[in-house]
Structure 1
Amino acid sequence: MISSSAEPAKLTKSAIKRAQRLARIERKRRERVEARAKAKNGDPLTPISPAHQNEVAPEVKPEEVQRPEEPVQPVVAAASVPPVEVVAAPSAPEIKANGITTKPTSQDPLPPSQPPKPVELLEQLVDVPAVPSIPELKEKLLPESVKAATAALVNPSSPQDAERVKKRQNALTRTLWSLIMIGGFIGLLLLGHAYMIILVILCQTLVYREVTALFSLKKAKPETRDVEIHKKDPWSKTLNWYFFAVTNYFLYGESIIYYFKHVVFADANLLPFATNHRIISFTLYTIGFMGFVMSLKKGYLKQQFGLFCWVHMSLLLIVVSSHFIVNNILEGLIWFWVPASLVICNDCFAYIWGITVGRTPLIKLSPKKTVEGFVGAFVSTVIFAVIWGTYFMRFDYMTCTVQDLGVNAFSGMTCKPNPVFVWRVVDLWPPVSACLSTLFGQSVKTISYAPYQIHLLTLACFASLVAPFGGFFASGFKRAFDIKDFGDSIPGHGGMTDRMDCQFLMGVFTYVYYSSLIRVNNVTVGGILQTIVSGLTIEEQLELIDDLRRYLESQGISIS
């Protein structure tokens, strides 16, 4: 017998055939025993079959002969073969009526009588050697997997128990890998901005691979008969990754030039790439476009153009979104860490509230989402955002714009904080002050706050009310392709796309919100250097240096 938590072993064809052969042997053995029993009783109604008249019982070892006092053991069906039970027909008894003795014919119903017991039949056949029983043959011939499957058929586990065990295992796996991902996320955060950027690029690469893999280039009918049809376009995957590389070169090149002007424009080797970055990017894209046109084949045109559009939409939704997330990291880790945490928090609380009080379905694309979980997650995320963001805004490492990719959490990074992180004091309205004073038992006339806390409320509302629709979009995408997950790169969570669907939307909103309402456009050394290098000739640059030297000397600063 196997435990109820284990699923029955799947039988092979050879095991099923072996079980069927054993069942046939047992059936023939029973027929022989019944035939001999009827022959000894002299039953005229059931003659011995001609096939069994000259049959000789097989020789067996003495230890394998069944004892007369043991009852005939029932057949245990192996695998999927049902047990065949043959019951010997009792001999027709004589009936006396009015002094006349008659025997019933085969058409007459037999009178109720007690059938002979198996022990009585064995006593009559004590001198006949018996063949080995099915349990003995099964013990000798069947492998362990077949024995386990037979035991599972005799004592099957309930489907509810199996489903419960499966859900428990999935929950444990999901929880374990969630903790691993959170721990790795925090570890990379402490290591510095460069490691977080590498993490984002790795995630976008996995997502791009999973999404583009959904579009398979199927074989089409030839448009003309003189065209050789191949099963797969050999250039499809190459062009996919070529466009991916070119897009990353353009977008991340723009970020490097913008945030590290003081390094790029001061290096003679990097200067040509910085000043001609966009024309280089466009040239690379044009080469890929020409390669795509040259790879077109009759019979595959619809599939190839469909793949071309598929790749460009994937680049727009995945790579461009990742580019904005990287910009958030360079503007300050807090603009990446806190929004990403809010999405994770909202997802967790939506699940908790949903399984606790969820009753009303929210959207058909995600049947497990409930209105109660959606509302409960919104309230929980707003509270969490204020507490979580207020704690991390105290650290310069989280709020400073990156100037050096080599810094980490232990480098002692300092900077002039953005005004949104500076605490302010506001006077309360007298009625409100009176109520708070009565409530707390002391005078409360002012309250301190940071503008960042107000921005946190906006981010929390977006993470709770809008970002989940990125997940709904991904759910509809999976339903369109009849798949459960985008991949299996993360055990218990599916693919990377299943985890990043809401993060992309949240990252784009955070960048747009920050660059529009929060960013302070100060004059930087890198910006001035970019203007000098790209806008002044060599003679004008030398003249500027002389003017700057005279100014510094007039201020009492000597330049050697």
Structure 2
Amino acid sequence: MSKSKTPKEKTESPPPVAADTTQKPGPVVNEKERKKQAFVVRTIWTLVMIFGMFFIICAGHFWTIMFVLMLQVLVFKECISITSERAKNEDLKYTGYLNWYLLITTIAYLEGKSLITYTINFLIDSNYPTALAMKFIIHQKFISYCSYVLAFVFFVSTLKKGSLKFQFAQLCITHMILLLVIFQGHCIVNNILHGMIWFLLPVGLVITNDIFAYICGITFGKTQLISISPKKTVEGFVGAWICTTFASIVLTYYLCNFNYFICPIENYNDLQVNCLTGVSCEPNPVFIHQLYKIPADLARLIDREYIQLKPIYLHAMILSLFASLIAPFGGFFASGLKRAFKVKDFGDTIPGHGGVTDRMDCQFLMGSFSYLYYETFISTHHLNIGNLLQTIVINLSGPDILILVKSLHTYLYKIGIISEDVYVQLVNLLS
């Protein structure tokens, strides 16, 4: 029995749909438009950073120090993040915690001295358990060191076969970042305590050098300076050096005319000052006009034997020399590090500018040099018992010395050096 074949049904294709001519095309972003948008974003955030920094500086030394500490943490975070990606892949979950623990112990060790200096008066005058607080502060270096030793023990206990090379390399990188970032930041904090000018002048010189290196580079630049930064030119480098030298005179002239910028922080109460409160101090000799003898040949030429000048101008020119010739290598170092890990920026914390590290790479090196330069050639603070007693007798009145003695008695009583009976007798005697 033969089967009849059923003819195939003809499948009709749907009629073509007419194109929707009413639909608007999407926005076309070309290279020119992209650069324009990037320029706008970069300009806006540049203004935000400038005015934000001025606001923090005017708020006072305490908030400026907090700002520097925050920058340290952000830079540390960015540098660690680009070097520890492999830890996630190898299930080394404790690596990140260890890095942050080392950061905390390092800051505690370095900033402990400042904590002792600027909170001791507060603890003496307060009703807090001063004896315990004093013991903690006095032994803070030992406590910080013990905390670091615990981190070392924890690191050894978490070593994992197959990842040993990476773990030891990561530990070395962490310590290098702590040295290059946290130690340098500690120097910058001390610069602020020496006087706001020792913070603002180095920062301003680096910013000025960076700006003029860009301007001179795009205007005259032809010769490449260093291979890891192809856009850096010899002409921009030299032009920025000359412009930064002149800028150092202008910045110094402005800053050294305000007590708020030149007065150091000497006690806890000074940390509470801001640009609107009155500040007074005996200025460092570098801010006072002095006579300098002019070389004989030049003296005959200008018909003058002596010139009156504030020494700070000469120091500022030396700082500008470092800011122009040495500090940029901090930026070159950062460029090399980014190329080593094949990243464009350290992060995207600041829109249009990349990460905080991309803006601070030269500042930390400049800050440490400024600190060491100040301590070596400018500082006049060499404290011992003789100098301290002489300073008290010469500069304090009788009632002020009496207040000092009472405060010392209170401190000795609270830390247990003198008994309560002796303390009461001393109070009655001095009343």
What residue number does 1:312 align with?
A: 175
Cα 1:283/1:429, change in 2 over 3 Å: closer
What residue number does 1:496 align with?
A: 356
In the aligned structure 1, how far is the partner of 2:274 from the partner of 2:424?
35
Deviation sequence 1:77-115 (CA, Å, 0-9, x none): xxxxxxxxxxxxxxxxxxxxxxxxxxxxxxxxxxxxxxx
Deviation sequence 1:295-317 (CA, Å, 0-9, x none): 22223222222222221111111
What residue number does 1:519 align with?
A: 379
TM-score of the superposition, structure 1-length normalised?
A: 0.63
What residue number does 2:395 align with?
A: none
Contact 1:325–1:511 under 8 Å retained in 2: yes
For 2:218, the aligned partner's letter is I
1:293 Cα deviation from its structure 2 partner: 1.8
Secondary structure class of the residue paired with 1:137: coil
For 1:254, the aligned partner's letter is K
1:256 Cα deviation from its structure 2 partner: 2.1
In the aligned structure 2, how far is the partner of 1:369 from the partner of 1:407?
41
2:217 to 340, 354, 366: 354
What residue number does 1:538 align with?
A: 417
Q: How do residues 422-433 of structure 1 correspond to structure 2 at under 5 angstroms?
A: 422-426=288-292, 428=294, 432=298
1:139 maps to 2:20: yes
Contact 2:131–2:416 under 8 Å retained in 1: no
Contact 1:217–1:233 under 8 Å retained in 2: no
Contact 1:250–1:277 under 8 Å retained in 2: yes
What residue number does 1:371 align with?
A: 234
Cα 1:240/1:57, change in 2 over 3 Å: closer
In the aligned structure 2, how far is the partner of 1:56 from the partner of 1:324?
83
In the aligned structure 1, how far is the partner of 2:153 from the partner of 2:71?
29
Secondary structure class of the residue paired with 1:538: coil
What residue number does 2:251 align with?
A: 388
What residue number does 1:38 align with?
A: none
Identical columns (%)? 41
In the aligned structure 1, how far is the partner of 2:169 from the partner of 2:338?
18
1:216 Cα deviation from its structure 2 partner: 2.9
1:357 Cα deviation from its structure 2 partner: 1.3
Secondary structure class of the residue paired with 1:214: helix
Deviation sequence 1:225-268 (CA, Å, 0-9, x none): xxxxx841221111111111111111111222245554567743
1:251 maps to 2:110: yes
What residue number does 1:292 align with?
A: 155
Secondary structure class of the residue paired with 2:177: helix
In the aligned structure 1, how far is the partner of 2:49 from the partner of 2:271?
23
1:178 maps to 2:46: yes
What residue number does 1:235 align with?
A: 94
In the aligned structure 1, how far is the partner of 2:293 from the partner of 2:151?
62
How many residue pairs are counted as aligned between the two chains?
394
In the aligned structure 1, how far is the partner of 2:50 from the partner of 2:83?
32
In the aligned structure 2, how far is the partner of 1:261 from the partner of 1:517?
28
For 2:113, the aligned partner's letter is E
Secondary structure class of the residue paired with 2:280: coil
For 1:179, the aligned partner's letter is L
* Unpaired segments ≥5 residues, structure 1: 1-53, 60-130, 221-229, 438-443, 550-557
What residue number does 1:332 align with?
A: 195
What residue number does 1:196 align with?
A: 64
1:401 Cα deviation from its structure 2 partner: 1.1
What residue number does 1:420 align with?
A: 286
For 1:519, the aligned partner's letter is S
Stretch moving more, 488-497 or 308-317: 308-317
Q: How do residues 217-236 of structure 1 correspond to structure 2 at under 5 angstroms?
A: 218=86, 231-236=90-95
What residue number does 1:451 align with?
A: 311
Deviation sequence 1:340-382 (CA, Å, 0-9, x none): 0100000000001111111111111111111111111000000
Contact 1:265–1:274 under 8 Å retained in 2: no
Cα 1:429/1:314, change in 2 over 3 Å: closer
1:406 maps to 2:272: yes
Deviation sequence 1:268-288 (CA, Å, 0-9, x none): 342101221121111111111
For 1:538, the aligned partner's letter is I
1:395 Cα deviation from its structure 2 partner: 1.1
Secondary structure class of the residue paired with 2:225: strand
Cα 1:364/1:192, change in 2 over 3 Å: same
In the aligned structure 1, how far is the partner of 2:251 from the partner of 2:223?
30
What residue number does 1:341 align with?
A: 204
Cα 1:468/1:56, change in 2 over 3 Å: closer
Deviation sequence 1:107-136 (CA, Å, 0-9, x none): xxxxxxxxxxxxxxxxxxxxxxxx76xxx7
More helix by share: 2
Secondary structure class of the residue paired with 1:447: strand
Contact 1:421–1:450 under 8 Å retained in 2: yes
Deviation sequence 1:14-51 (CA, Å, 0-9, x none): xxxxxxxxxxxxxxxxxxxxxxxxxxxxxxxxxxxxxx
* The structure with more radius of gyration: 1
For 1:214, the aligned partner's letter is I
In the aligned structure 2, how far is the partner of 1:204 from the partner of 1:391?
28
TM-score of the superposition, structure 2-length normalised?
A: 0.81
Structure with larger RCO (C-alpha < 8 A, sep 6+):
2
What residue number does 1:465 align with?
A: 325
1:497 Cα deviation from its structure 2 partner: 0.6
In the aligned structure 2, how far is the partner of 1:301 from the partner of 1:359?
47
In the aligned structure 1, how far is the partner of 2:42 from the partner of 2:13?
60
In the aligned structure 2, how far is the partner of 1:414 from the partner of 1:524?
24
What residue number does 2:400 align with?
A: none
Secondary structure class of the residue paired with 2:308: strand
Contact 2:115–2:137 under 8 Å retained in 1: no
In the aligned structure 1, how far is the partner of 2:140 from the partner of 2:153?
20
Contact 1:217–1:304 under 8 Å retained in 2: no
For 1:294, the aligned partner's letter is S
1:537 Cα deviation from its structure 2 partner: 9.2
Cα 1:56/1:184, change in 2 over 3 Å: closer
Stretch moving more, 385-394 or 422-431: 422-431
In the aligned structure 2, how far is the partner of 1:458 from the partner of 1:348?
19
In the aligned structure 1, how far is the partner of 2:240 from the partner of 2:335?
19
In the aligned structure 1, how far is the partner of 2:262 from the partner of 2:424?
34
Contact 1:264–1:274 under 8 Å retained in 2: no
In the aligned structure 2, how far is the partner of 1:203 from the partner of 1:370?
29
* Unpaired segments ≥5 residues, structure 2: 1-8, 390-403
Secondary structure class of the residue paired with 2:222: coil
In the aligned structure 1, how far is the partner of 2:74 from the partner of 2:100?
12
Cα 1:170/1:262, change in 2 over 3 Å: same
Cα 1:324/1:265, change in 2 over 3 Å: farther
